[in-house]
Amino acid sequence: MRVVVGITGASGAVYACALLGALHNLNVELEIAVSEMGRRVLSYECSAGLDDLAQWGEVHDNSDLFSVLASGSAKFDAMVIVPCSANTLSALANGLGGSLILRAASVALKERRNLIVVMRETPLNLIIVENMAKLIKAGALILPASPGFYTRPAAVWQLVGGVVGRIIDNLGIEHALGGRWAGGEYDES
């Protein structure tokens, strides 16, 4: 399986790192693009840079619209934007394709491929809600970076793992991250 991961300048760069590490361990081929604000927030929140991301996949220049990922003929199976800023959500919902992340996401929608948008913003204004609705109607899955607490997490990595587990579920890949609710209780296995 080949998955494009777009990283934008919303808070929550740790979700992107955790997802990339988990998918890499699951032998998923990864293509990565990072917006300029995504790069800066990644550096600020995780003390990490594009070189660190390269251990998990190929890092593409987000301004390179000559990239292989910019074409509908590029054979990737799914795309995840994580975290997704309200800015990128708005641009995508309104048909803009002026960066590699936006163009690859538009390609995913037009080619009817799985597009998972991991929004991170709170509170939400009506413009954001309407843009999310537009993307849902266009075929995207909006998956808010909103961790569950029924897992009784004792550490941040468990909260992160819970969200990453839901992303991987929606890519249709079997995994053992984050555990599952087993009816009346949480199954850690």
Ligand X SMILES: Cc1cc2nc3c(=O)[nH]c(=O)nc-3n(C[C@H](O)[C@H](O)[C@H](O)COP(=O)(O)O)c2cc1C
Is there a contact between 145 and 119 (Cβ–Cβ < 8 Å)? yes
Residue 140 CB, nearest distance to ligand X (Å)?
16
Nearer to ligand X, 22 or 86 (CB): 86
Residue 5 CB, nearest distance to ligand X (Å)?
14
Contact set with ligand X (CB under 6 A): 8-11, 35, 37-38, 41, 44, 85-88, 120-121
Cα–Cα distance measured from residue 79 to residue 154, given in angstroms and rounded to the nearest whole number: 30
Nearer to ligand X, 35 or 67 (CB): 35
Residue 33 CB, nearest distance to ligand X (Å)?
11
84 Cβ contact partners less than 8 Å away, ≥ 6 residues apart: 6, 8, 10, 117, 118, 119, 120
Nearer to ligand X, 28 or 99 (CB): 99
Cα–Cα distance measured from residue 189 to residue 184, given in angstroms and rounded to the nearest whole number: 15
Nearer to ligand X, 67 or 88 (CB): 88
Residue 37 CB, nearest distance to ligand X (Å)?
4
CA atoms within 13 A on the CB side of 140: 28
